[in-house]
Chains A and B, each alone.
Chain A
Amino acid sequence: MVPISAYLILAAVLFGIGTVGVLISRNVIVMFMSIELMLNAANMVLIAFSRALSIADGHVIVFLVLTVAAAEAAVGLGLIIMIYRNRATINIDRFSLLKW
């Protein structure tokens, strides 16, 4: 049997990789995928604690998070398509319209 802290550390590492991806990536789609990875890391923590405490409520929450992630992906990709249509680039450093 694997201790639960192993799963939590795996989730922390995945979350950290997602953070680094959001920070270093200049491609808005890769940035978006890094956010999905961070959502999944949080899901893994929920499932690990669900298992450790033998309460299935965490599974329902993970299900809801997956649904929200799907909705977010649909709207976010729609936004990316619109921005690409207007500016012909997906470089995040060029999307600084709202910066100041």
Chain B
Amino acid sequence: MNLDTVIFIVSAVVAVFGATMMIAQRNPVASVLYLILSLVAQAVCYVQLSALFLGAILVVVYAGAIMVLFLFVIMLLNLRGSEDLGQPPKALSRFTKYTIGILMTLELVFIIKGAPLKAMATGLIGKAPDGFGSVEQVARLMFTDYLYPFELTGVLLLIAVVGAVVVAKSRKPGDPEETQTEETAGTNTNEAGS
């Protein structure tokens, strides 16, 4: 058992542990922190697969930015885990839900085990070519072959920013905003705020 295998086993166990604790926790803040743990462990796997740039992006953007957004929302809503989570009527029992999830996982694992993949026939991954997964290589692809998808992603982000602001904007309840012009709606919002 060499160092690579040990690193993989440790990071895989940490990733699965973090994910399991995330769905088992009652307190949403703890859930977010466990998901960050799982993401960092997954970043280690990315680095092992010589995806250095994406490993860094995963930690910086995902664990750093998106999870902080989740924390912000949880703190904004002031959730404490004892939130109104009673026992309303459910369509499926808890046992059925676990069974569905476990069966699906086993199915995926068996498919992977039985798949006749060339890389798996040898069992091991060969040495990566020089500079594989580096910023330079990913950027070169992104700005040549994938230029249009990249530009569309920028448009998507712009739409998402506008959409998030529109959706989360505070309005006066029962305000018939559709029938008003932009200007009067703005005045009403200001009045409601004061």
Q: Contact residues of A with B, CB < 8 Å?
A: 1-10, 12-21, 23-27, 29-30, 32-34, 36-37, 40, 43-44, 47-54, 56-57, 59-60, 62-64, 66-75, 77-82, 84-85, 89-91, 93-94
Contact = CB atoms under 8 A, between A and B. Distances in A.
Contacts of B192: none
Contacts of B54: 43, 47, 59, 62-63, 66
B88 A59 contact: no
Contacts of A51: 49-51, 125, 128, 132-133
A90 B77 contact: yes
A8 B110 CA distance: 11
Pick from B19, B20, B97 the residue with the most CB of A within 10 Å: B19
Contacts of B86: 91
Nearest to B96: A23
Contacts of A47: 46, 49, 51, 54
Nearest to A34: B23
Given A17-B16, A50-B51, A59-B53, A1 B4 contact: yes
Main secondary structure of the interface of B (DSSP, over half): helix
B167 A90 contact: no
Given A13-B105, A29-B74, A64-B153, A59 B42 contact: no
Nearest to B163: A75
Contact of B88 (A29, A84, A91): A91
7 contacts: A24-B97, A25-B23, A69-B62, A71-B159, A73-B66, A78-B163, A79-B167
Contacts of B98: 20, 24
Contacts of B76: 81
A4 B124 CA distance: 7
A55 to B, nearest CB: 9
Contacts of B101: 16-17, 19-20, 23-24
A59 to B, nearest CB: 5
Nearest to B173: A86
B73 A81 contact: yes
Contacts of A67: 153, 156-157
Nearest to A94: B88
B112 A12 contact: yes
A4 B117 contact: yes
Contact of B160 (A2, A74, A80, A94): A74
Nearest to B140: A56
Contacts of A75: 160, 163-164, 167
Given A27-B85, A33-B32, A21 B108 contact: no
A5 B120 contact: yes
Contacts of B126: 54
A37 B39 CA distance: 8
A26 to B, nearest CB: 5
